[in-house]
Chains A and B, each alone.
Chain A
Amino acid sequence: MTIFLDILLCFGVVLAQATLSTILSAKGIYPDLCLILACVMGFYSGEYKGLMIGLTVGLFQDLFSPGGIGLNMILKGLAGALAGVTTHTFSTVTSPAILLVTFALSLGCGLASLVVAYPVVDAPILFHALSSKLLPQGLYNSLLTLGMFWLVNWIGPSLSMVHLGRGPR
Chain B
Amino acid sequence: MPRPESNFPISTSIRRVLGVSFILFLALLLFLPRQSQEWLSHVGGPFARILEAPLHVVASIQNSIRHAWDHYIALQNVWEENQQLKQEIQRLQGEQNFLREQAIISTQFQQLLAYQQTTPMTTLPARIIGRNVSNWYRAMIINKGNLDGIHPEMGVITDAGVVGRVVRVNPTTAVVLLLSDPNVAITGMIQKSRDEGLVQGTPQGTIHMKYLPPLSPVQPGDKVVTSGLTEDFPRGLQIGRIQQVTKADTDLFQLGEIDPIVDFSKLEAVLVITSFQPALPSSLPKPIVSPSP
Contact = CB atoms under 8 A, between A and B. Distances in A.
B168 interface: yes
Interface stretch (A36-44, A64-72, A89-97, A158-166): A64-72
Contact of A30 (B132, B175, B181): B132
Contacts of B162: none
Contacts of A17: 132-133
Contacts of A119: 182-183
Interface string B135-160: 11101010000000000000000000
A15 B177 CA distance: 18
A85 interface: no
Interface string B28-50: 00000000000000000000000
Nearest to B132: A21
Contacts of A66: 134, 137, 139, 167-168, 175, 177, 181, 183
A46 interface: no
Nearest to B185: A119
Contacts of A22: 131-132
Contacts of B167: 66
Contacts, number: 76
* Among A18, A22, A125, A132, residue most surrounded by chain B Cβ atoms (within 10 Å): A18
Nearest to A32: B135
A129 B203 contact: yes
Contacts of B110: none
A110 B203 CA distance: 14
A64 B141 contact: yes
A65 B203 contact: no
A133 B177 CA distance: 19
B246 interface: no
A56 interface: no
B76 to A, nearest CB: 40
Nearest to A112: B136
Given A18-B141, A128-B203, A61 B134 contact: yes
Interface in A118-157: 118-119, 125, 128-129, 132-133, 137
A63 interface: yes
A61 B134 CA distance: 7
B290 interface: no
Contacts of B170: 63-64
Interface in A61-113: 61, 63-67, 72, 110, 113
Given A118-B182, A119-B183, A64 B203 contact: no
A interface, over-half SS? helix
Nearest to A30: B135
Given A63-B170, A64-B175, A113 B134 contact: yes
Given A117-B183, A119-B183, A67 B137 contact: yes
Contacts of A110: 135-136
A65 B133 CA distance: 6
A7 interface: no
A55 interface: no
A114 B136 contact: yes
A34 to B, nearest CB: 8
Contacts of B182: 117-119
Given A65-B168, A119-B182, A125-B203, A113 B175 contact: no
A133 B204 CA distance: 10
B227 interface: no
B133 A18 contact: yes
A14 interface: yes
A118 B203 contact: yes
Contacts of A113: 134-136
A118 B185 CA distance: 13
B173 interface: yes
10 contacts: A63-B170, A65-B175, A66-B137, A66-B177, A67-B136, A110-B135, A113-B134, A118-B183, A129-B203, A137-B135
- List of 10 A-B pairs having minimum Cβ-Cβ separation, nearest first: A18-B130, A117-B136, A65-B134, A64-B133, A113-B136, A66-B167, A66-B137, A66-B139, A66-B177, A18-B133
